Chain A
Amino acid sequence: MEYILPLEDCHSHFAELVGGKAMGLGSLLRQELPVPAGFAVSTHAYREFVEVTGLDRAIEMNLRHADSLEQQRRASERIRSLFDESELPKSFVLELTDAYEQLGHKGMAPVAVRSSSVSEDAADASFAGEHDTYLWIEGSEAVAKNVLRCWSSLFTPQALSYFQQFGLRAGETAMGVVVQTMVAAEAAGVMITIDPLSGDRSQISIEGSCGLGLAVVGGEVTPDRYFVDKVTLDIRSRMISPKSIAYRFDSMAGEVRRFDVPEDEQLKPCLTEQEVIAIATLGKQVERSLGAAQDIEWALGQGANGSRDVYLLQTRPETVWSKKKASPLATSQTSIMDRLVGNMSVPMRIV
């Protein structure tokens, strides 16, 4: 069993081995879509780690009777501190370091270390934001430390209550991790390849803000919104909002930090029209190749020749509308004449 897998090898039959996020990125890469370079840390690495360290038994003990929110909070605290105190196996650290150093930048490539839980598909739920992601991590030691933190984020209080709600046993699940080159995003956000409000399948809905995607995903700004026709890729409508904060890398502090945006720049659209269309085009492509509506994270970063290029950071199946069984709008059992009469008789509301 391997600890590390190239992202493009993360097929769906490895779901148990790499988790949902890695699988999504693998499918994008195999379509030759723009995804930042990186690799997946397998759940095998996680399982071996908790076994060797005896954490598996400690987890189970701590989770017993963790039913109330308060009990879950305390169990989470105890389990996560046990992770922090444990040592990673040498053989794993060697492989991880090797894979990381291949990302270039003389072994100091800034990367994102992201949780890739195997529970996402098991529950047919998004688990959005239940586990952790660490941005702008540099150096193999820091990467290893954050892989460990990702693992322990399997046991955040919110994840524990989510598990309980969907009837999953936290002790039996496992965590994969994705390590990916950081996109120094000038703008970032999410897109859903339908209209999340009406379920309109002919629409791609894009939300974006300046800087890293954190502000949008975390709901810290009202993002700019763009609605694009999926067939023609024309913009149907747009709403530009004042975006008062942005997350960027602070090179002095060596970390990602929240910046205030000067008032006169807040209303500047975060995307050009061409960029909106480029993002939507990718969304359409992803939905087509994966055969279902998608919920996608994207970022606009520096491309090879200084241009602003779109990168896809994550994709997962849209879970709300896709689960609804769409009942036919009009049954073809009725004659077209009946439908004609019906449609003529729909009143137009004036006020």
Chain B
Amino acid sequence: MTTDQPNVVHRFSSPFDVETASGAEGWEQMYPYYFHFSEENKEWEDGMLWYQDGVHHPEVLYPFDTITHECWRTALGQNNSRIFAIPPAYGIEQRIVNGYLYIAAVPVSSEQRMQERVEVFVRRAGDYYANWDQIFDQWKAKMVDLIGKLEELEVPQLSRLDIEEIVTERRGISSGWKLVEAYNAVIENMFTAWQYHFEMLNIGYAAFLNLFMFCKQAFPGIKDELIAQMVAGSELLFFRPDDELKRLAQLGIDLGIADKLRVSRKPEDILEDLRHDPAAEKWIESLDEIWHPWFYFSNGAGFYHHHRSWIDDLTVPWTALTGYIDRLERGENLARPKQAILDRRERLTSEYRELLPNDEDRKVFDENIKLARLVAPYIEDHNFYVEHWHHTVWWNKIREFGDRLVEGGFLEDREDMFFMNRWEVGQAFADMVASWASGGPSGGQKIWKKKVADRKRIFDALHNWTPLPALGPVPEEITEPFTVMLWGITTERVRIWLGLGEAVGENEIQGVPASPGIAEGRARVVLNSSDIGTIEQGEILVCPITAPSWGPVFSKVQAAVSDIGGMMSHAAIVSREYGLPAVVGTGTGTRRIKTGDMVRVDGNTGLVTILPKSS
């Protein structure tokens, strides 16, 4: 069935014409059928504009890790489409091409349907806005409860003879079946976390959007980040882990153990020594107190199994900690200027308000600001609960299932499980547990090891493919309120992809201005979070995407450039908080800039210039 075709003026290549990446033949079998462009849906799929989700899923997808976008496909969609009835928008569809995620916004195409939805939206979203703080409190309790359940989840080992307790406690259920149940539970737990993730997010963004649109109408030239600054709070959870490190740095100095913390050994070993050191007792106590949850902080977005957290690898927090000790000893003040941020927020708000031409507009502005500030804490903090705290626990729990597959002879290494998708892992457990029960042979032992080896080869081939930014026809206009805010898909962006954008010079890269100011310095290209220890004071960070836990890095660098991201992306928010110039959404920054290049970052215009090498 086709809906009214909007006026199509330009066209990227059809998803059906994209050739398989060289050497990656067979990549399709890694992912569930519903992520494939198919002959059955061809007519509909060929009529949609698809763009690569570089904001949330910029990398080749590990089969198992597709669970995160599968989670948000349902959770985001249902809240737009079925629950809050966002009038012009259904959800976001997903497909995978050569291992990369492509997404398309599904519009509500009939005017009549849109009208029907207005009344439902007003009632339901209105109810949430009216009770926002209370609902958010309940939301936090639900998340903490969900994380608790996850931590308690047992992933039993299988032994030749099952444990005695099955009999003495009259359980009636074997460890084998418990394992199958646990796998089902861990998958459900992830989906539930994402159900919560979007419970308040879509309508939260709607409130933000309302303020943005008003300000853009009243002040056509106003920079997006200034509107964001009128709303942003100063107590984001994202800054809490970093603040705790600063406190620990000070405590280390006060207790006279600064040098013990700074010895050049693995942080885990230093910590082990300190646990037996009476002089460090108070410090260790203090660390243990904040460990949970502030060290459950991902070095990435939390979306992938390889986005490890502080608790998994102490390199990142330790580098920051010792850096803070050095700076405190030099007499620097490390406190974030919280009051200054709040003062600026109030000054901006009242000055723009004053510039409005009449009282009527001021009244509307006040209402819009009030609603946007009401939803802001949720927008800012939900990630910490879901992608950081919950996912840190979840990815570690998942690895226990990998261990079971290794023990059952299905895999060589626990990490190999990520080359299987979630359904395949379920099948493997069904097979493993059944053959454990029957005592018969399991084919899975040979099948999965071979498949994993094959997929590692495919995976490498996919890495060498450069994803096209978009596929399919470009309509004249898009009525999708969240695409711009969440994915930074603006008119200019699409024009640049189409080659219609303003040409920039050979040594220039155009991105989105995300935090004002201009800086020049030496570039440090950091492709993944395990390399952030290499960054030196005063360098300019160039990265594919930044995550909130890179916070400590921002006190070292003097500007940031990212391949992907929009005005509300993490890099943008954190840079503004630290007062650093930032340009996001450059597309090619990490490919065109090399570590050691001198670059100029203009956070006002979004232009990044690679400067000529001086002798």
Contacts and interface: CB of A to CB of B under 8 A. Distances in A.
A304 interface: no
Contact of A336 (B89, B367, B474, B498): B367
A236 B219 CA distance: 12
B3 interface: no
B125 A337 contact: yes
A329 B604 contact: no
A31 interface: no
A235 B513 CA distance: 13
A252 B478 CA distance: 65
Given A201-B355, A237-B605, A344 B477 contact: no
A272 interface: no
B364 A329 contact: yes
Contacts of A337: 121-122, 125-126
Nearest to B347: A231
Contacts of B368: 336, 339
Contact of B87 (A229, A344, A348): A344
A141 interface: no
Nearest to A198: B220
Interface string A328-351: 111110011111110111111111
A331 B491 contact: no
Contacts of A230: 351, 355
Interface stretch (B206-214, B264-272, B567-575): B206-214
Nearest to A326: B357
A319 B602 CA distance: 35
Interface stretch (B132-140, B329-337, B427-435, B479-487): B479-487
B440 interface: no
Given A330-B214, A331-B360, A339-B210, A231 B476 contact: no
Contacts, number: 142
Contact of B122 (A234, A237, A330, A341): A341
Contacts of B490: 348
B478 A351 contact: no
A156 interface: no
Nearest to B86: A344
Nearest to A284: B351
Given A236-B221, A344-B209, A348-B480, A202 B86 contact: no
Contacts of A202: 218-219, 221-222, 352, 355
B260 to A, nearest CB: 45
B221 A227 contact: yes
A102 interface: no
A76 interface: no
Contacts of A331: 360, 364
Nearest to B516: A234
B145 interface: no
Chief secondary structure at chain A's binding surface: loop
B219 A347 contact: no
Nearest to B348: A231
Contacts of A330: 214, 361, 364
Interface residues of A, number: 37
A10 to B, nearest CB: 28
Interface in B211-239: 213-214, 217-223, 226
B360 A346 contact: no
A81 interface: no
Contacts of B348: 231-232
B48 to A, nearest CB: 13
Given A202-B352, A232-B348, A330-B364, A343 B213 contact: yes
B364 A344 contact: no
B357 A201 contact: yes
B207 to A, nearest CB: 7
Nearest to A351: B9
Given A345-B479, A347-B478, A236 B214 contact: no
B409 interface: no
B604 A235 contact: yes
B210 A340 contact: yes
B210 A343 contact: yes
Nearest to A227: B221
A348 B487 CA distance: 14
A203 to B, nearest CB: 5
B470 to A, nearest CB: 11
A338 B118 CA distance: 9
Nearest to B10: A351
B182 to A, nearest CB: 42
Contact of B210 (A234, A326, A336): A336
Contacts of A326: 357-358, 361
A195 interface: yes
Given A198-B221, A336-B210, A328 B477 contact: no
Contacts of B478: 347-348, 350
B222 A328 contact: no
A331 B125 CA distance: 21
Nearest to B117: A341
Given A201-B357, A340-B206, A346 B352 contact: no
A200 interface: yes
Contacts of B217: 329
Interface string B473-512: 0111111110110000011001100101000000000000
Contact of A344 (B222, B481, B494): B481
A343 B209 contact: yes
B213 A348 contact: no
B311 to A, nearest CB: 40
Contacts of A335: 122
Contact of A231 (B125, B355, B474, B483): B355
Interface in B431-484: 474-481, 483-484
B483 to A, nearest CB: 7
Contacts of A229: 221-223, 226
Interface in A166-192: none
B370 to A, nearest CB: 9
Nearest to B229: A232
B548 interface: no
Contacts of B222: 200, 202, 229
A203 B476 contact: no
B72 to A, nearest CB: 20
Contacts of A350: 9-10, 474-478, 491, 494
B509 to A, nearest CB: 18
Nearest to B114: A345
Contacts of A195: 220-221
A340 B371 CA distance: 11
Contacts of B221: 195, 198, 200, 202-203, 227, 229, 236
A298 B119 CA distance: 55
B274 to A, nearest CB: 46
Contact of B223 (A201, A236, A338): A236
Interface in A294-338: 326, 328-332, 335-338
B275 interface: no
B207 A340 contact: yes
Contact of A232 (B10, B87, B210, B226): B226
Contacts of B240: none
Contact of B371 (A200, A328, A329, A336): A336
A218 B438 CA distance: 97
Interface in B361-397: 361, 363-364, 367-368, 371
Contacts of A201: 218-219, 355-357
21 contacts: A200-B220, A200-B221, A201-B219, A201-B355, A202-B355, A203-B221, A229-B221, A231-B347, A236-B223, A236-B604, A326-B357, A326-B361, A328-B360, A329-B364, A336-B210, A339-B210, A340-B207, A348-B483, A350-B474, A350-B475, A350-B494
Interface of B: 9-10, 86-89, 114, 118, 121-122, 125-126, 206-207, 209-210, 213-214, 217-223, 226, 347-348, 351-352, 355-358, 360-361, 363-364, 367-368, 371, 474-481, 483-484, 490-491, 494-495, 498, 500, 516, 604-605
Given A234-B223, A341-B122, 5 more contacts: A195-B220, A200-B220, A328-B358, A336-B367, A351-B494
| Closest 3 pairs (CB-CB, A-B) | A326-B357, A328-B360, A347-B477
